[in-house]
Chains A and B, each alone.
Chain A
Amino acid sequence: MTALKLTGVCKTFGKVKVLHDIDLTVEEGEFVVFVGPSGCGKSTLLRVIAGLEDATSGSVEIGGQVVTDVPPAKRGIAMVFQSYALYPHLTVKGNMALGLKQAGEDKALIEDRVAEATRMLDLAPYLDRRPAELSGGQRQRVAIGRAVVRQPKLFLFDEPLSNLDAALRMNTRIEIADLHRKLDTTIVYVTHDQIEAMTLADRIVVLRAGRIEQVGSPMELYNDPVNQFVAGFLGAPSMNFVPAGVLGKTAATAGIRPENIRIAADGQMAATITHVEHLGGDTNVLARLDSGEPITVRLFGQHAHEVGDAVRLGFDEAHLYLFDDTGARVR
């Protein structure tokens, strides 16, 4: 069954058109990630789905039902915000229980649900604390708990990890993936971080300037991007782009991923190394082609290259992506 269906959703603020004709279908149980640079309309789209913002035109269906006139609380959704947005005057327990109380559920059921979420997210030691007495990571777990307790048909996450430090971000990311497996519900997750998108998503929706650029599984998008934007957005370090002429191709731009380039005596391109990053497991070599373009090479393992070394770079024709002057893929 479809959990979420967007048809021709547009949103304008005053004269500024922020969302352009968004069409998207999300199947039940799917983990869908909206990814795109900041300001591209991800949060706005999520708020339209939640009913916090009215779409200027187009329709939103949740669980097969058009929800245009349904208030947020009755849409069967729960949302987790970047800024946690916990109620400052309530304890952790009060924060988690409020939604159900408001819906008029009976006490025993509320207790049950809160207890279950508490166990799932290890919140037991903090139940009687107020948000001000918790660390950032704990606050975000409470915010997730508040969403879980409602047992929504659809979870909405708006950059939930952006305020956490790097180590905590990875742990929480794994916790969210784990949560999705346990609950088996549909999740729509917004982020500007392509690593979060790649690691969490069943399906990624790449947005740019209020338009969907491409939809697909992480590997589909990685291996078969439809345009230069998607190709450059996914993957770190990101894809190298050089004028196609440099490689003797007839297109505007040629792209090749850093890990598909090797340093070899029989390589097609001559370059000089400008910088080397030793990461232990990987080595990133930044070089400049003799024709002037910067290029990044990602080598597996540890390699002793020096800045200033002249090298030749080789690649397989099969790994080359070609784009025309509008950025669209040439196949």
Chain B
Amino acid sequence: MNKARRNPVNLIAAHGILIAYTLIALFPVFVILINSFKTRKAIFREPLALPDADSFSMIGYQTVLKQGDFFGYFQNSMIVTVVSLTLILLFGAMAAFALAEYRFKGNTLMGLYLALGIMIPIRIGTVAILELMVSTGLVNTLFALILVYTAQGLPLAVFILSEFMRGVSDDLKNAGRIDGLSEYKIFFVLVLPLVRPAMATVAVFNMIPIWNDLWFPLILAPAEATKTLTLGSQVFIGQFVTDWNAVLSALSMAILPVLILYVIFSRQLIRGITSGAVK
């Protein structure tokens, strides 16, 4: 350890800043959580108070579980998010590998074309997408959402991953070729593990917007059977009255899976077992 890090003043300052940041970041989550366990009156009277014997209430959770098929929504969100992420990572990484590894005519042009989507928001094409889904009969299926989210996530994924893949040692790939590994094996066995931190970054960047999206579920899959959690929770938010107990409870439950996915990916971010492969 270097001197600066051993110095107690620096140490305290660093920890102070980190702790303060953690508190600020966690505060809204904390407020949502405590209020989801309170009666409606208590929420408005003292929003920052912890639930006590008097104000404790599970009414929000009861409403959420009674109203509509909450677990169904939950499952839909989970399926859409996980499948979309998988497809984004798989196809994104494969396209990135091709762009980074192979010299072919139009390589740069293809890279630019694939990156174009970063600058053009996919929502501009909503009407066309809806028409497409209607004519292919995919409206009100989770598949429609998965397709849209995959398309939405690919440009940035290709862009980030191809940069990282250019950094993977050529010698390592060539050693694999001499040992008779197929290009697929080189990609899956040698290259992918080395770009895992970048994959985790892409996954985290894509996960939250997909999980939270309201736009496409509302337009492409509003049927009861295909509602996502975000869309399902909207029934509690009215134009004139909002059932805050239910909204806060639904939010509390919606945080959980994202948290779990995030923990999985961030462990990948930090893990460094592949270092020292070359040099």
| Residue ranges of A at the interface with B (Cβ–Cβ < 8 Å) | 47, 50, 52, 71-74, 77-79, 81-89, 98-99, 102-103, 131-133, 136, 146, 150, 158, 163
Segment at the interface with A among B39-47, B246-254, B269-277: B269-277
Also in contact, A83 and B169, with CB within 8 A (given A89-B189, A89-B274, A132-B276): yes
| B54 interface residue per 8 A CB criterion | no
Determine if A103 and B178 form an interchain contact, defined as CB atoms under 8 angstroms apart: no
Task: List 30 A-B residue pairs with CB atoms under 8 Å apart, sorted by A's residue number.
Answer: A52-B177, A71-B180, A73-B179, A78-B178, A79-B174, A81-B171, A81-B174, A83-B171, A84-B171, A84-B278, A84-B279, A85-B174, A87-B176, A87-B190, A88-B274, A88-B276, A88-B277, A89-B189, A89-B274, A98-B181, A99-B178, A102-B179, A102-B181, A103-B180, A131-B276, A131-B277, A132-B275, A132-B277, A146-B179, A150-B179
| B193 interface residue per 8 A CB criterion | yes
The chain A residue sitting closest to B176, CB to CB, is A87
- The CA of A85 and the CA of B277, in the complex, are separated in Å by 7
CB B166 to nearest CB in A, in angstroms, measures: 15
Determine if A99 and B177 form an interchain contact, defined as CB atoms under 8 angstroms apart: no
Determine if B179 and A98 form an interchain contact, defined as CB atoms under 8 angstroms apart: yes
| B175 interface residue per 8 A CB criterion | yes
Query: Which residues from 146 to 175 on chain B have a C-beta closer than 8 Å to any C-beta of chain A?
Result: 169, 171-172, 174-175
- The CA of A103 and the CA of B169, in the complex, are separated in Å by 24
Residue of B171, B179, B180, B193 touching A88 (CB-CB under 8 A): B193
Q: Which residues of A contact B274 (CB under 8 A)?
A: 88-89, 132
Determine if B175 and A81 form an interchain contact, defined as CB atoms under 8 angstroms apart: yes
The chain B residue sitting closest to A147, CB to CB, is B178
Q: Which residues of B contact A47 (CB under 8 A)?
A: 174
Determine if B279 and A163 form an interchain contact, defined as CB atoms under 8 angstroms apart: yes
- The CA of A86 and the CA of B175, in the complex, are separated in Å by 8
The chain A residue sitting closest to B276, CB to CB, is A132
Q: Which residues of B contact A72 (CB under 8 A)?
A: 174, 177-178
- The CA of A84 and the CA of B276, in the complex, are separated in Å by 10
| Residue ranges of B at the interface with A (Cβ–Cβ < 8 Å) | 169, 171-172, 174-181, 189-190, 193-194, 273-279
Determine if B178 and A73 form an interchain contact, defined as CB atoms under 8 angstroms apart: yes
The chain B residue sitting closest to A143, CB to CB, is B175
Q: Which residues of A contact B189 (CB under 8 A)?
A: 87, 89
Q: Which residues of B contact A52 (CB under 8 A)?
A: 174, 177-178
- The CA of A279 and the CA of B177, in the complex, are separated in Å by 46
Q: Which residues of B contact A99 (CB under 8 A)?
A: 178-180
Also in contact, A89 and B193, with CB within 8 A (given A83-B278, A132-B277): yes
CB A169 to nearest CB in B, in angstroms, measures: 15
Q: Which residues of B contact A79 (CB under 8 A)?
A: 174-175, 178
The chain A residue sitting closest to B185, CB to CB, is A102
- The CA of A146 and the CA of B172, in the complex, are separated in Å by 13
CB B128 to nearest CB in A, in angstroms, measures: 39
- The CA of A178 and the CA of B250, in the complex, are separated in Å by 72
Determine if A50 and B277 form an interchain contact, defined as CB atoms under 8 angstroms apart: no
CB B279 to nearest CB in A, in angstroms, measures: 5
CB B127 to nearest CB in A, in angstroms, measures: 43
- The CA of A81 and the CA of B174, in the complex, are separated in Å by 9
- The CA of A146 and the CA of B179, in the complex, are separated in Å by 9
8 extra A-B contacts, CB within 8 A, seeds A83-B171, A132-B274: A72-B174, A74-B180, A79-B174, A83-B172, A84-B279, A85-B175, A88-B276, A158-B171
Q: Which residues of A contact B276 (CB under 8 A)?
A: 88, 131-133
Interface pairs A-B: 5 shortest CB-CB: A88-B277, A73-B180, A132-B276, A102-B180, A85-B171
CB B171 to nearest CB in A, in angstroms, measures: 4
CB B102 to nearest CB in A, in angstroms, measures: 12
CB A54 to nearest CB in B, in angstroms, measures: 10
- The CA of A84 and the CA of B179, in the complex, are separated in Å by 14
Q: Which residues of A contact B190 (CB under 8 A)?
A: 87
Q: Which residues of A contact B178 (CB under 8 A)?
A: 50, 52, 72-73, 77-79, 99
The chain B residue sitting closest to A88, CB to CB, is B277
Determine if B194 and A88 form an interchain contact, defined as CB atoms under 8 angstroms apart: yes
The chain A residue sitting closest to B189, CB to CB, is A89
CB A158 to nearest CB in B, in angstroms, measures: 8
- The CA of A102 and the CA of B176, in the complex, are separated in Å by 10
- The CA of A72 and the CA of B178, in the complex, are separated in Å by 5
Q: Which residues of A contact B181 (CB under 8 A)?
A: 98, 102
The chain B residue sitting closest to A97, CB to CB, is B179
- The CA of A87 and the CA of B277, in the complex, are separated in Å by 7
Determine if A85 and B172 form an interchain contact, defined as CB atoms under 8 angstroms apart: yes
The chain A residue sitting closest to B175, CB to CB, is A85
Determine if B171 and A82 form an interchain contact, defined as CB atoms under 8 angstroms apart: yes
Q: Which residues of B contact A77 (CB under 8 A)?
A: 178
- The CA of A73 and the CA of B174, in the complex, are separated in Å by 10
Q: Which residues of B contact A103 (CB under 8 A)?
A: 180
The chain B residue sitting closest to A13, CB to CB, is B103
Q: Which residues of B contact A50 (CB under 8 A)?
A: 174, 178
